[in-house]
Amino acid sequence: MSERAVTSPNMTDQGRIPSVLRFSTELIAWIAAPWAVADRSSVVLALVVFVVLIGLPTVFGTVGDKKQVMVAAPGWVTIALVVLLVAAAVWGAWLVWPVWAAILVSVLAAATVIAEIPRWRWLLGT
């Protein structure tokens, strides 16, 4: 009978490439989504979006998936936050950037989701 790992693949060498892809996607989400909101709504709302996109994943985390967790959350919450950031990156890119850039962001987002699958399986087991 196999025992479940105490730490996620995110905390091992296996997690390096997914982490780089995830951080790249997060960085794009932090730029593109507030930009899109500012263009279509208001700068104040764009600041709120920016704070939410950075703040939620900073505050909430799954024990064993990060070195430090401020507020412990189940694995599905961590997955939902990653999905939110990936969606924000793609949405924002398609609204404010040229088509070629939005296509590149979409490809990066797809690669991120595929690379995250082992981590997500681990997170769903918590």
> Phi, psi (5° rounding) for residue 11?
-95, 10
pLDDT digits 0-9 by tens, 13-62: 777 899 999 999 999 999 999 999 999 999 999 999 999 999 999 999 99
> Phi, psi (5° rounding) for residue 60?
-100, 135
**What are the angstrom distances between the C-alpha of 32 and each of 42, 56, 69, 100, 105?**
14, 17, 27, 14, 10
What CA–CA distance (Å, rounded) separates 87 from 73? 21
pTM of the model as a whole: 0.90
Report the residue count for the chain: 126
pLDDT digits 0-9 by tens, 52-97: 999 999 999 999 888 889 999 999 999 999 999 999 999 999 999 9
Predicted confidence (pLDDT) at residue 5 exceeds the cutoff of 80: no
Predicted confidence (pLDDT) at residue 10 exceeds the cutoff of 90: no
